[in-house]
Amino acid sequence: MNFISRYRRSKFFGPALLAAALFILGTTYSVASATTFKAVTPASDKTTLVAEGKELFARGCSSCHGLNAEGGSIAPSLLGVGAASVDFQVGTGRMPMADMSVQASRKTPVYDEAQTAALAAYVASLAPGPASIKSADLAWERSGDTAQGGELFRTNCAMCHNFAGQGGALSQGKYAPSVMGAEPGQIYEAMITGPQSMPVFSDKIITPAEKLSIIKWIKSAEAEPSLGGASLGRTGPVTEGLLSWTLGIGGLIGVAVWLASKAR
Amino acid sequence: MSAKERAAGAVANYVDERTGAAKWMKKNLTKVFPDHWSFMLGEVALYSFIILLLSGTFLTFWFDPSMKEVEYEGSYGPLSGLKMSAAYASTLHISFDIRGGLLMRQIHHWAALLFMVAIVTHLLRVFFTGAFRKPREFNWLLGIGLLTLGIVEGFLGYSLPDDLLSGTGIRIAEAIIQAIPVVGSYLAYFVFGGPFPGEVFIPRIYTVHILLLPGIFLALITVHLMLVWYQKHTQYPGPGRTEKNVVGYPLMPIYMAKAGGFFFIVFGFTAFLGAVASINPIWLFGPYTPAQITAGSQPDWYMGWLDGLVRMAPPLETHAFGHTISWNILIPGLIIPGILFTGMALYPFIESWMTGDKREHHLLDRPRNVPTRTAIGVMSLTFMIVTLLNGGNDIIATHFGLTINQIMWFSRIGVLVLPPIAYIVTKRICLSLQRADRELVLHGKETGRLVMLPHGEFIEVHEELSPEKKWTLTQHEQLPQLEIAQENQSGVRNPKGLRAKLQQRASRAHQEQIEKPSAKDLLELGDGHH
Amino acid sequence: MTTDNHSKEIAPLSDPGIPEHVHRRTDTDPKAAKKAERQVAILFSISAIGTILFVYSYTFMSEDLFVFLPVMGSTNAKQLFLGLGMAISLFFIGLGAVHWAKMLMPDNEVIAHRHEFRSEESDREDFVKTVKAGAEAAGLGRRSLIKRSLGAALGLVGLTPLLLLRDLGPLPKDDFSKTSWKAGTRLVTDPGNRPIKPSDLEVGAVAQVLPELQSGELRKLEDIGKDAVLLIRIRPEEFQLDAERLSWTHEGIIAFSKICSHMGCAVALYEQQTKHLLCPCHQSTFDVTRAAKVIFGPSARPLPQLALMVDADGYLVAKQPFTEPVGPSFWERDSA
């Protein structure tokens, strides 16, 4: 009791109290709102991949996509989407969707690699579709052409994903996500399956070699440090203007106030 | 006399015998300038201009303003072997193969952004303090001219590298030209030397950007500064400051040191930005081709409001008698900006018409004491901010979890509804602040100290303001509203008709004030305690 | 209003005059003044260090060196230190000069008087007299023949620079209505220039296309600016088109001009699920199933549709040129 009374009038008491209250509020919310997905029991070795996938599908996907993946009012049919689609959607954590919003966002995957492969095998068994692509199988470093990849990216991808692959807005709250940090296999799968709003880039329109070049360019943009200083998001003039109005004139006005003030 | 003094004397003698300089030097070296940080915003603009000239000249030594197609052979790997214009290739060359080239490019572009920010903040300071009143109306016009030319110059400047982002901006500019009725298609062909994009646009705007506009800038800035010099700078009201004097510090040595020092500070600060913050990374945009586009295509911030206006425009077009007029381009692209800038330019004359005040003013206004002007200013600013935000609606949408459609509708409605609300709110706030000032003068400052009087009443001790502070809060003029006779004694209506009525109404709105306390009020109050 | 006669005697609200000058520490204490002098010298010295840093980075630092800094990430050392060196060398000169002025130069406020701008009455009268005399001497008032012929000559000479600008560009004639697309022109991929068969496109696919070039022809940006086309494949039953427009499609494949009908940006953003095209410049949104009808945004016209068919070898070709001008509107544009 004495401690509080003694420091009640301290000028730091208010801010400290505020900080403590925010901290308590924040951690309580995080703990309370943390959702844990039920631990998915790994399938036994005896069942085949497809059967395992069917079981996982029935438990985690059929409520929206239908018991036979035929689709419904809230989710499309998965017949013909192929293992590549499943590998992409489940592997990036987009599926299962967290909530019924306008777009499934990338998040921590619920299923591990083995389970993802099982789901992919099951969906692939229902109707033929593109096979999943593993990053290790893509020889983009050797066969890709960075400069050509950049040209292809700017013609086919930049209008949604922005010139540096940082992502961009679509209509009605949808968006093209940033491609920075995406795995090469997933980039390839996205191009051939056209997830959500993204169109399909058929192999005759962008050849497999060209797709490797695009991946190589993306990886080079990812690795490229910002050559002129802090990158300000690589989103163009909006952030540059913001900086000039905040740090820019703010800093100079600060100096001007000092300059015009009387010395003591 | 020391040797140094003798040498200096010899030089002064040499110059004076040929020019008679001693007289005007003596007068001007002792010229007095009032000191306030808000008077330095114009200086930021001036120094940024000088930085632009210096850094720009550097860039011209390597930039090739040609649209001829070349194959890139420079050191930036992700573009090697690609076809691009010589202008783009030379900008890459400056950025990667010239030591300090990227630094100078970035300093040049940051200086351009700061130049425009400084002009706008300086304009706001001049507007809200009423520094545009007689005798400075012409200087205000020059300022609006500089603002307009600055916007054009900046647009042309960042379009020179012929990259994907700025090329898209040029495409949009061409569409505005093309949309002009009757002469649009001809004008577009003349400007571009044929169909878009052609091969002459970059070389032509290069001449405009490095020769024509800088020349005009130099002339306008010189006249602008000479007027400030000759008419003397305005000053904030305060004890000892009147309409007939200037209180401050002499040019030599104080202003030379402070203003000269500030130049180095602005230059150093701009160089700092050029060192640590990447701007206009054209190597990431790629060379311009009409078949490509990037998400998040925006012009530089000083044109963002134009982009926002175009985005929110309703899809109006008329087709009649074999001709098309694109209102969806002309209204936001030419008509509204024209009205805005004309209104801005004419404001000093509009205000003197509203108030009937034709006298000289050298003391600045405190914004709260001119509620109507302040409210009009905030209203215009609200309009500009809504349009500016809409210009970045896709970036705002992705970063704040909104949709571009929501932002567009918010802007369409907001741009009409928010400015009047801002006017009303600002005016009321100004009047409240006047009331607060009146209270301060009459009753003194609240000290927060409570005292219990012998009979049990608690009062808060008020401290009387110093005479200096009282003076500052009450020195402003409160003009009565104009009495414009709508009819004379014989019942003949005022020949000016509607104009006279409007003037009467405007004057009444403009002169809405809280009466400032008079000496009589203070006297009547007696002691300041409550 | 302000004061009345009565209060002038008491005058509590009159100008109290410039407040008394408050001396700075450096004015009264020579030690403080010396300290300030040292501080100014230090500031100028830091500037010199900045210049040295600049020279060192320029001359000795390798272009390939990258350093990691918080907030900035991995950044090019030479560019950073060149800039910081320059910034420091300039900034601290300014800082030193301002500190010197604030601390050591006299800060007594000086009063200067404003003189009225208006000239003396005698000067104004003399001015008017001079101008009138001059005008009389010129005789323009009397000699109207001179006035009129001078006016005509000056007006005519003003035409010469205007006429010289005629060759800035050719006349547009009917350029705006023409593209390279003719009946039978093959669609080829951009980039790559490969012709396209319907089976090359899956449902949900897009392709950026350009017209096939004849041998020896070079593709110019001016042509691309009108020829760029977007090819989209959806399920044929999803079209909501009239019979004529439907006949311009082929097995669910439809082609539109990529040049936005609003202000000419490339409309390449295709949302596969909603079948909408979005232009990133001003967010005009077009519905592919309804012949690129505008459903949101400032564009007033749909994108022109290119009629498609398949040639003898099975490749997609244009059935006919565009039936309306592509790109933004212009005065002479005659289509709805």
Residue B276 zone, left/alpha/beta (φ > 0; ψ -120 to 50; rest): alpha
* pLDDT value, residue B528: 46
Mean of all residue pLDDT scores within chain A: 89
> φ and ψ at B33, to 5 degrees?
-125, 130
Of C103, C124, C141, which residue sits at a domain end?
Answer: C103
> CA geometry: angle at A45 spanning A39 and A46, to 5°?
120
pLDDT tens-digit map of C10-46: 344 788 888 888 899 888 999 999 999 999 999 999 9
Beta bridge partners of B320: B323
- Answer whether B117 touches A (CB < 8 Å): yes
Cβ atoms of B197 and B205 within 8 Å: the answer is no
Of C2, C83, C97, the CB nearest to B276: C83
Check residues B443 and C241 and name the one with the higher pLDDT. C241
Q: Which two tokens stand for residue B469?
A: 């502070």
Is C209 within the bounds of a domain? yes
Q: Which CATH class is domain A37-132?
A: mainly alpha
pLDDT in tens, B147-166: 999 999 999 999 999 999 99
Of C49, C84, C103, the last residue of a domain is C103
Residue of A151, A161, A232 with shortest CB distance to B82: A151
A220 touches B at CB < 8 Å: yes
pLDDT tops 90 at residue C240: yes
Of all residues in chain A, the one with the smallest CA distance to C209 is A205
B vs C, Cβ pairs < 8 A, gives 342
Contact state of B294 with A229 under an 8 Å Cβ cutoff = no
Confidence of residue B523 (pLDDT cuts 50, 70, 90): low
**How far is C269 from chain A, CA to nearest CA, in Å?**
6
Task: Report domain extents, chain B.
Answer: 37-310, 443-525
Lowest-confidence region among A151-160, C103-112, C181-190: C103-112
**Tokens 């004015």 map to which residue?**
C27
**A229-257: per-residue pLDDT in tens?**
999 999 999 999 999 999 999 999 999 99
Q: Do A225 and C25 touch (CB under 8 A)?
A: no
Of residues B517 and B256, the one with the higher pLDDT is B256
Cα nearest neighbour of C27 on chain A? A264
pLDDT of residue C336: 58
C151 falls within a domain: no
Residues 6+ apart with CB under 8 A from B116: B150, B151, B154, B300, B301, B302
Assess contact for A166 and B281: CB atoms under 8 A. Answer: no
Does some domain include residue C56?
A: yes
Is the pLDDT at A42 greater than 70? The verdict is no
Q: Which residue has the tokens 């110093």?
A: B466
Nearest residue, CB atoms, B295 vs list A151, A162, A227: A162
| Range 175-214 of B in CB contact (< 8 A) with C | 175-176, 178-186, 188-198, 200
Cβ under 8 Å to C: B residues 223-252:
231-232, 239-240, 242-250
pLDDT tens track for B191-223: 999 999 999 999 999 999 999 999 999 999 999
Beta carbons of B471 and C89 less than 8 Å apart: no
Asked if residues C230 and C249 have their Cβ atoms less than 8 Å apart, the reply is no
- Whether residue C113 is contained in a domain is answered as no
For residue A105, is pLDDT > 50? yes
Cβ distance A227 to B165 less than 8 Å, yes or no, reads no
Which of A174, A191, A197, A205 is most worth mutating to test chain C (most C CB atoms within 10 A of its CB)? A205
**Subunit partners of chain B (3 or more CB pairs within 8 A):** A, C
Indicate whether C135 belongs to any domain: no
Decide if B264 and C86 are in contact by the 8 Å CB cutoff. Answer: no
Which residue out of B48, B96, B265 would a mutagenesis test of the C interface target, given it has the greatest number of C Cβ atoms within 10 Å? Answer: B265
What is the pLDDT at residue B494?
78
Does pLDDT of A4 surpass 80?
no
Predicted local distance difference test score (pLDDT) of residue C11: 42
Of A197, A226, A228, the CB nearest to C273: A197
Comparing CB atoms, the residue among A197, A206, A264 nearest residue C25 is A264
Report residue B458's pLDDT band, with 50, 70 and 90 as the boundaries: very high
Smallest CA–CA distance, residue A93 to chain C, in Å, is 20
Query: Is residue B301 less than 8 Å (CB to CB) from chain A?
Result: yes
| Residue with more model confidence, A4 or C81 | C81
B518 has pLDDT over 90: no
Record: contact A255-B110, CB cut-off 8 A? no
Which residues in chain A are contacts of B406 at CB distance < 8 A?
173
Of C187, C178, C301, the C-alpha closest to C250 is C187
Query: C195 and C307 share a domain?
Result: yes
Residues spanned by the domain of C226: 176-318
pLDDT > 90? residue C311:
yes
Fold equal for A37-132 and A133-224: yes
Residue A40 corresponds to which amino acid? V
Cβ-based contacts of B194 with chain C (< 8 Å): 169-170, 222
What does the DSSP 8-state code read for residue B303? G
The pLDDT score that the predictor gives to residue C10 is: 38
Domain boundaries, chain A: 37-132, 133-224
A228 contacts B294? CB cut-off 8 A: no
- pLDDT at residue A108 greater than cutoff 60: yes
3-state SS assignment for residue B496: coil
Q: Where are the alpha helices (DSSP H) in A130-245?
A: 140-143, 146-156, 158-161, 184-193, 208-223, 237-243
Is A225 in contact with C71 (Cβ distance < 8 A)? Answer: no
CB B408 within 8 Å of CB B332: no
pLDDT band at C5 (very low <50, low <70, confident <90, very high): very low
With DSSP H G I counted as helix, E B as strand and the rest as coil, what are the percentages for chain C, rounded to 5? 40, 15, 45
Name the residue among B262, B293, B403 with its Cβ closest to that of A159: B293
Nearest to B522 among C13, C280, C299 (CB): C13
pLDDT of residue A43: 53
B70 versus A7: the higher-pLDDT residue is: B70
Q: Which fold has domain B37-310?
A: Cytochrome Bc1 Complex; Chain C (1.20.810)
Q: Do B328 and C86 touch (CB under 8 A)?
A: no
Angstroms from B286 CA to nearest CA on chain C = 15
Number of domains in chain C: 2
pLDDT band of residue C4 (cuts 50, 70, 90) is very low
C12 within some domain: no
- Helix A249-260, helix C77-103: angle, nearest 10: 20
DSSP A105-125: PP---SS-HHHHHHHHHHHHH
Q: How confident is the model at residue C218 (pLDDT cuts 50, 70, 90)?
A: confident
**Minimal CA separation from B143 to chain C, in Å:** 22
CB contact under 8 A, C202 and A225: no
Neighbours of chain A (3+ CB pairs under 8 A): B, C
Q: How far apart are CA B127 and CA B131, in angstroms?
A: 6
Give the number of beta-carbon pairs within 8 Å between A and C: 110
- Read off the pLDDT of residues B26-47 as tens digits, 9 standing for 90 and up: 888 989 999 899 999 999 999 9
Say yes or no for a CB contact (<8 Å) between A205 and C205: yes
In chain A, residues with a C-beta closer than 8 Å to the C-beta of C197 are 204
Any B CB within 8 A of C268 CB:
yes
CA distance A5 to chain C (A): 40
Average pLDDT over residues A129-148: 92
**Cβ within 8 Å of B, C 23-52:** none
Asked if A255 has any chain B CB less than 8 Å from its own CB, the reply is yes
Task: Establish if B119 touches chain A: CB-CB under 8 angstroms.
Answer: no
The stretch A142-163 carries a mean pLDDT of 95
A148, A171, A207 member nearest C285 (Cβ): A171
Contact assignment for A164 to B284 by CB distance below 8 Å: yes
- Please give the Cα distance from B195 to C153 (Å, whole number): 36
- Look at residue C117 and tell me if it is in a domain: no
Predicted pLDDT at B124: 98
Give the model's confidence band at C7: pLDDT under 50 very low, under 70 low, under 90 confident, else very high: very low
**Measured between CA atoms, how close is A150 to chain B, in angstroms?**
7
Q: Which CATH number applies to A133-224?
A: 1.10.760.10
Answer for the pair A80, A128: CB distance below 8 angstroms, yes or no. yes
Verify whether the Cβ–Cβ distance A237 to B265 is below 8 Å. Answer: no
Kindly tell me if the per-residue pLDDT of A37 is higher than 60: no
CA dihedral B51, B56, B57, B63 (to 10 degrees): 160
For residue B465, give the amino acid letter.
L
Locate C245 and state its tokens: 């427009």
Q: CB neighbours of C46 closer than 8 A, spacing ≥ 6?
A: C88, C92
What pLDDT is attached to residue B274? 96
Q: How confident is the model at residue C3 (pLDDT cuts 50, 70, 90)?
A: very low
Residue of B195, B197, B232 lying closest to C175 (CB–CB):
B195
Q: What percent of chain A has pLDDT over 70?
A: 94
In chain B, the residue whose alpha carbon lies closest to the alpha carbon of C80 is B275
Decide if A204 and C200 are in contact by the 8 Å CB cutoff. Answer: yes
- The pLDDT assigned to B221 comes to 98
Is this complex's ipTM strictly greater than 0.95?
A: no
Residue in the structure block whose two tokens are 């001179």:
C146
Are residues B516 and B478 in contact, defined by beta-carbon separation less than 8 angstroms? yes
Question: Is A244's CB within 8 Å of B117's CB?
Answer: yes
pLDDT at C6: 38
Mean confidence (pLDDT) of chain B: 93
- What does the pLDDT read at residue A36? 54
